[in-house]
Amino acid sequence: MTQSILFVCNMNSVRSPMAAALLNRQTAGDAKVDSAGVYEGGLDPFVEIVMQELGVSLENHEPKTLSNVELENVDVIVALTPEAAVEARRFLPREKIEFWDIENPSQERGGREAILEAYRGVRDELQRRLQARFAENH
């Protein structure tokens, strides 16, 4: 089992906090899971809505950048954007970095329900990938 997993996206406001919260729930705290961004952002309110639908709260999430994380203790970085993968390679060897190309739901245009559906799609895709990748933990 992987001991320390870090999810990285661009702003640490949508994809990486979702992935970290989902994996924390899946592993029931058996792994050290965190998230960070290439740039500093703020938590997207739609993330909280779609995660609450699963009973997962992100109210204590404080967005941070890679420079705020002790990377020497990380076993695996899962980069969720091309920019995050490039930035992660500046700090860790390639063999410690996985790249999952996850869409950015914040670029969805349309009414509230269309936007929420885009966020749910990302949440559900992350959950599928997490269950497949970290299957030994559930």
| pLDDT for the residue 61 | 87
| Local structure of 74: helix, strand or coil | coil
Write b or e for each residue in 14-49: b if 16 or more Cβ atoms lie within 10 A of its Cβ, otherwise e.
Answer: bbbbbbbbbbbbbbeeebebbbbbbeebebbebbbe
| pLDDT for the residue 136 | 66
Q: How many domains does the chain have?
A: 1
Residue 13: give its domain's CATH number: 3.40.50.2300
| pLDDT for the residue 138 | 42
From first to last of its 138 residues, what are the pLDDT tens digits of the chain? 558 999 999 999 999 999 999 999 999 878 999 999 999 888 899 999 999 999 998 888 889 999 999 888 899 999 999 999 999 999 888 899 999 999 999 999 999 999 999 999 999 999 999 999 998 644
The single-letter DSSP state of residue 95 is G
pTM of the model: 0.93
32, containing H or E segment? strand 32-37
In the structure encoding, which two tokens stand for residue 1, read together?
């089992």
Through-space distance between the first and last CA atoms of the chain, rounded to whole angstroms: 11
| pLDDT for the residue 2 | 55
User: Where in the sequence is the domain holding 35, given as residue range(s)?
Assistant: 4-137
30 Cβ contact partners less than 8 Å away, ≥ 6 residues apart: 1, 137
Please name the amino acid found at residue 85: A
| pLDDT for the residue 80 | 98
DSSP assignment of 40-63: -----HHHHHHHHTTT---TT---
